[in-house]
Every structure is written in structure tokens, then in C-alpha cells.
Amino acid sequence: MHGSRNVQITGNQFVKNSLWAIGLMPGVASHKKNTDGGSIVANNIISDFGHGDANWIWGNEQFSIRFDHGQEPDDPPLTDVIIQGNLLHNVGAPRYRYTVRFEGEPNALRGLHFFGNILSPGSSGVSNVELKP
């Protein structure tokens, strides 16, 4: 979702997604005086990730949760997001590289807070960066 300000993604079940199940991304309308963030991602279930009909397009290099940088270099970073109580349930070999993917510069993410999630690791681990509570 581009332009992810004050969004609440709560209590959903995402089944057989192939690209990503949850994605927060700042939008081009978020200029330096504005911000994207102040959101909550809580109590969602992601199951059978990578087993959808579009897996043949995207392959196993994807990730189930994505926190992206802005579309333009002057977009502000995604800031102040709570990620709590989410479950990624996987049966068998993972069909994703990372459970969570964080995009970095030029406007890296700030203030993402992870609490009480159960995230099955992908073929390269849970995240492309170290997760800190």
C-alpha cells in the first residue's frame, strides 16, 4: 500500500499469497513536511505463503511482509509502525526468501516496533536485517 499513513491492518487472514501479503510503502504525496507511518499491523495470519497460483511468476525469492522506502528520493521514510501478534504459518519447505523485508536508503525506515510475532523463517531467514523489539 503506497501512502501508508495511520493505517490499521488488523485481524486478517492472508492465504496463498505469492508476492507479499502485507506491504507498507510511503507514497509520492508524502513530501518532507508530511510523513507516512503511525500505523498498526496486528493479529494477522499469513498461511501457505508462496503456494498461490502466481508463484510461477514470482518464484521463491519473495517475502511475506514488506516495509518499503519511498518511491522518490525526497519521500520521507516510513516511521512509527507497531507490528504485533502476527503469525506466519508455513508447512513444508518455505517458498519465500525472507519472512520480512526492509528496504533501506535513500530514505530508510525508522521506528518499526516488533512484539510477540511468530514468523516462520524463509530460505534465508526471518529478515534481511536484525529484528529488535
Question: How many Cα neighbours within 13 Å face the side chain of 93?
Answer: 2
Return the pLDDT at 30. 54
Return the pLDDT at 100. 92
Q: How many domains does the chain have?
A: 1
Q: Which domain holds residue 79?
A: 8-127
Return the pLDDT at 1. 55
Q: Is residue 102 part of a domain?
A: yes
Q: Is residue 48 part of a domain?
A: yes
Q: Is residue 22 part of a domain?
A: yes
Residues of the chain with pLDDT under 70: 1-4, 28-34, 131-133
Return the pLDDT at 29. 62
Query: The C-alpha cell of 133 is what?
Result: 523489539
Return the pLDDT at 28. 64
Q: What is the pTM of this model?
A: 0.86
Q: State which H helix or E strand residue 47 sits in.
A: strand 45-47
